[in-house]
Amino acid sequence: MILIDGPRIAPKSGQAKKLVILFHGYGSNGADLAGLAQHWAPHFPDVAWASPDAPEPVPGAPGGYQWFPISRLDPALMEQGVRSAHATAEQFVRSELNRWEVAPENLVLIGFSQGTMMALHTALRREIAPAGVIGYSGALPGPERLKSELTVKPPIMLIHGDSDDVLPVGMTLMAAQGLAEAGHGAQFHISRGIPHSIGPDGLELGRHFMEAAFSGRLRG
């Protein structure tokens, strides 16, 4: 396990009642998704935000980090990668919950691309279900083993652009199918004309999902 750190945004109210942790994608860094947090923060005055740098630098990409090395979309390699990085991600989640004195059921995990893989893997194996998970432009590694490993069933929203040439949109559809086969499920949305990125509709859907998740409206 490697200890990680990154940018944080304190709640506007001065008192954290809820926490959002954002996991960035391959070759990016915590500051990139901290910008996403800044976009949403005015709508959530009681939320603290944390966006760590992944544990490994990307060779030849100054300032870029990875949760695990990946050279091709090999399902076995993606599953091996998320499993190898899981302890690091989980330790960060625990430390941030302690830092802000937030209950684990008041947590939302958000990921982009490789970070979505980490957010889903981590959230579905916690002791207490987070309030929700948002996965942008990502995938669900190891779906065939999820049913036996699933410990909680948090609300999940998956969002993907139909013009993504990095991680094809079919990966989100496969993720939704994998969750269903494991006895869980997810909302999903396809953004028209959006490449490997987050469109305006994805930003708005993410905000509305967080509002509903933090209010408890999404829980069964």
Q: Which domain holds residue 200?
A: 8-215
Q: What is the pTM of this model?
A: 0.96
Would 220 be classed as within a structural domain? no
Q: Which residues contact 115 (CB under 8 A, 6 or more apart)?
A: 22, 23, 24, 25, 33, 54, 67, 138
What CATH code is carried by the domain that includes residue 159? 3.40.50.1820
| The total number of structural domains that make up the chain | 1
Give pLDDT tens digits along the chain (220 positions). Answer: 788 999 999 999 989 999 999 999 999 999 999 999 999 999 999 999 999 999 999 988 889 999 999 877 788 889 999 999 999 999 999 999 999 999 999 999 999 999 999 999 999 999 999 999 999 999 999 999 999 999 999 999 999 999 999 999 999 999 999 999 999 989 999 999 999 999 999 999 999 999 999 998 876 5
Would 1 be classed as within a structural domain? no
Would 158 be classed as within a structural domain? yes
Would 2 be classed as within a structural domain? no
Would 80 be classed as within a structural domain? yes
Would 3 be classed as within a structural domain? no
Would 38 be classed as within a structural domain? yes
